[in-house]
Structure 1
């Protein structure tokens, strides 16, 4: 069976390559097509060891103009894109890595109790943080064409397809390939942070909106079948956050105005998506019978479900259109917008409980259940926006302020003096910032960002991350800035430990921080810490960075237990192996024992978002991989390393660090290479 599908994949790639060739021939002529085909054949022969073909290729490229080389490059890039699309569609159809099946097979063999499984599922908390990345250069218009092409491939592989329908699909495939060939692949203008955020919203709309309830439905069915355990209605085992529009560390284009615009655009997209769901629900829920609770709300209406859903639908339409007017500078009334998840969930749950109570559970557990699950996972804000800023920017605010107030220069104070000042002001009832203070532009921008956080709902935000945090004062400074700006809820503040030294020092920094009585009261038993993979790997090489990350996490888990707080480690992984990425299941299962108890939070960067979550079936599979790995790691935690293992990996890490730095920092050939 597998070989049949492999052959089908190869046939699909050949077919797409043939259509691309016809497109190129139609545009540039037969001579160009033959030239590209000769380059392809020579390249393959050269790769297989034919040196004469390699020499011919070099001579061919030497005689070509830059424009001709660009055409050849585009042809091969387009072919690789088509090959990737075919493979993604093939993986979706094959359900390669049926992770949920593998998980339950493992659980069943272990003969676990229902309570153990229920406890693990109850702790399942996957927070995927969507981030932009400069390596994602594919334009949204091409992403749309690629998605449409994947849909056509999915349909053309149906065995029951008629000849007429096949011809129609082949015409459409040729149309899409031609569109892509005649479209510039690379953006001519660098995307703004708002463009990046819109791209992230589109991934949710086009893929995750469908994939998340499908994933939850499959997990629920398996739990029911094997353990008679159900996912609670309010469960949100996966949630989504974003850095796009909130990550201002080193990016001058992410301003407080951009952050506010992105928050509003996320709410607008959520309103659009929920309006579509509610419109479909109010069409389908035409029944007249209901329970007493719903009847009390709607009176004597003969269509009680429509009577409660139609006003809710209208409110989402008002929200969607109102935000559009607000951003465009037209009159709008924010008080009329949907502001909280309760406004959405209460009517939906009234309908659900009523349908269940009157014996229409099959209706309740259809589209309505999917919408309830979307409400719990995405909410009326669509996702949670993180804010990230460098610790030096916060210190500069207090440095400028203390000089203005004649208190000296905060930047030159000892750590003890900084903490004393911050704690005193955190406990003070009077405002700290003078009304007439004419701060510098950089300081104003930091303060304006905090004011945006104060102005908007806490449900629209994730956590505040501090880059280059090396002392407790770096964290407390942010908490004072938020308090002084009017943020009246304890926004989680996470230090980011990035370099090798940062990772090694992280337990000492966190011990000092958790030893502060005020701070422990502020966090209310929940601490976030971000571990940077990219910078530590670039600083010390992969082996040394990996071992430092492991030891750091291990020490932080022990520290959290000592101070009786729940620790959520936030993994700043890149998309490639060089930036800290690994196969998801192996990467999760290799975490230190106990490090997943507080949930799993990880960045998903740029192009990997599209590869993992760009199509609903791929997204569902990726969510299954994450969920199965985390549940497995909680139920069957990997062993803590033995002392002899630690000795060996410590030696390897030291040698790896020295070898890596010897090349990167000392070898005179490295930079030219």
Structure 2
């Protein structure tokens, strides 16, 4: 009862005055007497009793622990650097962020090997830094029984991982000293998240550097059963370089990370940070898992599910069971019968060439065209999204109006609303056109038939092209976009048609979604509802931009946004 009461107090954020010896702090502590009872019943010939309700209870405790579900923590790597800046300045050691990578690693490794806390209890730091320190304090109090992974977003160096390990160790040492006993549970596993194309290209090197450090390798073996988890981000890489290039860079990054871990005899779990839309790595689960690089799914896999997709996939018991069956089947097949790698080096070289052209076309439009940002704000409801109470995070990472600081979710969300779904296909047509014009059409068709990754990539792009609507996108431009920028929209629509043409050439299909009739029927059945909502949204945006304080118009806009998102089956 005291264990239950302590958990209730934790949920209510109230202090617990019980002695730690009067309740179970961890799942292992709770399992110990249950397993002892089970073993005793078996030895005394009462196996029927042992395998009944007691076995069910043991399974529940082993599966759900004492907190039902573990939560991951996530923080940007820059916040940890700011925290270590404050600490090293306070200790007159210099400014951590100004050191080169080797000096950082030397400092972090030395402190990790030490037995004293680094952070003085009397230190006074800015609120943002204090928030980071407080987070590690809470993590030390709860331990790995309640928390899962500590994910470092925008990770790019080995020092990003060791910085978290040091702050985690420091918080646990400080708390242990106050309690006069070890902290509950174990340390959280630290998971670097590689998001941009540049960081994905360096992911394997970062993991190799980490595992070459004796302290870190021993820590992984001792505290995490020789298991390294690495997260790859689909959203920012797609916004950074376009969907096609992002898919190829993600594929290569996974190959390199797996190879790096194999070199040191360390097992790896790849954590896929997917969104709900194709532009952010979404798509059919089975297809996605079956197209991973060989050796990247060895009985383990983690993947995010976006909010509205959780409801769609797990909202009912029947659909939840079906989704778990899909995950289980796909992971088992990918483990026992790994997907085929590219048959010949020529295919990889061709992918590099298509990716290069695709990325150049994407970036020349999105980042280098001086008119694009203004066109984006006019042609989509992105500017109005910031005033609406939707989403769990700010639309931007920093107070800048540029595309670079815009989060991937509102970026994809805005284009999905206009039915142009530009992030999922921009640049693809240019890449495929270049390859076909050089005489590689038959090679591309062979790649589509025989290479699961390439087939999956083309199929997903074809699927999203089936959702794109040329007339609707054109209507947004005609009503909302300044006349001087409408030619940019016309160019993009011509590129959409070219992309459709060459995707069909590669796949060998006569029309979009030819091999997915259920999707075609689904799209066609929703058009009578989607089209009026888009027309209404255009008119509301037109009026709202003349009268932006009109709350009735804002409410009406929110209704159209929700309706279109439901009709398109995803937001961002």
8 Å CA contact retained: 2:229, 2:271: yes
Q: 1:494 to 1:631 in 2, by over 3 A?
A: same
Find 1:374's aligned residue among 56, 60, 68: 60
Q: Tell me the equivalent position of 1:574.
A: 275
**For 1:556-612, what per-residue CA distance to the aligned partner results, in whole angstroms no more than 9, with x for missing partners?**
111111111111111111122222112111111111111112611111221111111
Aligned pairs (5 A) from 1:451-466: 451-466=137-152
Find the aligned partners of 1:663 and 1:405 in 2 and give their Cα distance: 48
Count matched residues: 359
Alpha-carbon shift at residue 343 of structure 1 (Å): 4.8
Q: Tell me the equivalent position of 1:513.
A: 210
**For 1:367-415, what per-residue CA distance to the aligned partner results, in whole angstroms no more than 9, with x for missing partners?**
5544433222111121222111111111112212222222222221111
**For 1:26-54, what per-residue CA distance to the aligned partner results, in whole angstroms no more than 9, with x for missing partners?**
xxxxxxxxxxxxxxxxxxxxxxxxxxxxx
Which secondary structure state, in structure 2, belongs to the residue aligned with residue 457 of structure 1?
Answer: helix
Q: Tell me the equivalent position of 2:308.
A: 607
Q: 1:350 to 1:533 in 2, by over 3 A?
A: same
Determine whether 1:672 maps to 2:378.
yes
8 Å CA contact retained: 1:498, 1:533: yes
Q: TM-score, normalised by structure 1?
A: 0.50
**For 1:287-342, what per-residue CA distance to the aligned partner results, in whole angstroms no more than 9, with x for missing partners?**
xxxxxxxxxxxxxxxxxxxxxxxxxxx45654455546x63569766654442224
Determine whether 1:500 maps to 2:197.
yes
Structure 1: runs of 5+ lacking an equivalent:
1-313
Find the aligned partners of 1:335 and 1:580 in 2 and give their Cα distance: 47
Which secondary structure state, in structure 2, belongs to the residue aligned with residue 639 of structure 1?
Answer: coil
Q: TM-score, normalised by structure 2?
A: 0.58
Alpha-carbon shift at residue 538 of structure 1 (Å): 1.3
Find the aligned partners of 1:509 and 1:382 in 2 and give their Cα distance: 34
Aligned pairs (5 A) from 1:101-500: 314=1, 317-319=4-6, 321-323=8-10, 327=13, 336-346=22-32, 348-349=34-35, 368-486=54-172, 489-500=186-197
Alpha-carbon shift at residue 501 of structure 1 (Å): 1.0
Alpha-carbon shift at residue 652 of structure 1 (Å): 2.3
Alpha-carbon shift at residue 623 of structure 1 (Å): 0.8
Q: Tell me the equivalent position of 1:663.
A: 365
**For 1:34-81, what per-residue CA distance to the aligned partner results, in whole angstroms no more than 9, with x for missing partners?**
xxxxxxxxxxxxxxxxxxxxxxxxxxxxxxxxxxxxxxxxxxxxxxxx
8 Å CA contact retained: 1:341, 1:379: yes
Alpha-carbon shift at residue 354 of structure 1 (Å): 6.9
Q: Tell me the equivalent position of 1:633.
A: 334
Q: Tell me the equivalent position of 1:197.
A: none
Q: Tell me the equivalent position of 2:354.
A: 652
Alpha-carbon shift at residue 530 of structure 1 (Å): 0.8
Q: 1:540 to 1:621 in 2, by over 3 A?
A: same
Find the aligned partners of 1:561 and 1:645 in 2 and give their Cα distance: 25
Which secondary structure state, in structure 1, belongs to the residue aligned with residue 378 of structure 2?
Answer: coil
Q: Tell me the equivalent position of 2:234.
A: 533
Alpha-carbon shift at residue 654 of structure 1 (Å): 2.0
Measured on the aligned residues, the alpha-carbon RMSD in Å equals 2.7
Alpha-carbon shift at residue 424 of structure 1 (Å): 2.1
Considering Cα pairs closer than 8 Å and 6+ residues apart, tell me whether 1 or 2 has the greater RCO.
1
Find the aligned partners of 1:320 and 1:565 in 2 and give their Cα distance: 35
Determine whether 1:544 maps to 2:245.
yes
Find the aligned partners of 1:354 and 1:655 in 2 and give their Cα distance: 68
Find the aligned partners of 2:121 and 2:301 in 1 and give their Cα distance: 42
8 Å CA contact retained: 1:402, 1:410: yes
Alpha-carbon shift at residue 362 of structure 1 (Å): 7.0
Aligned pairs (5 A) from 1:63-82: none
Q: 1:431 to 1:361 in 2, by over 3 A?
A: closer
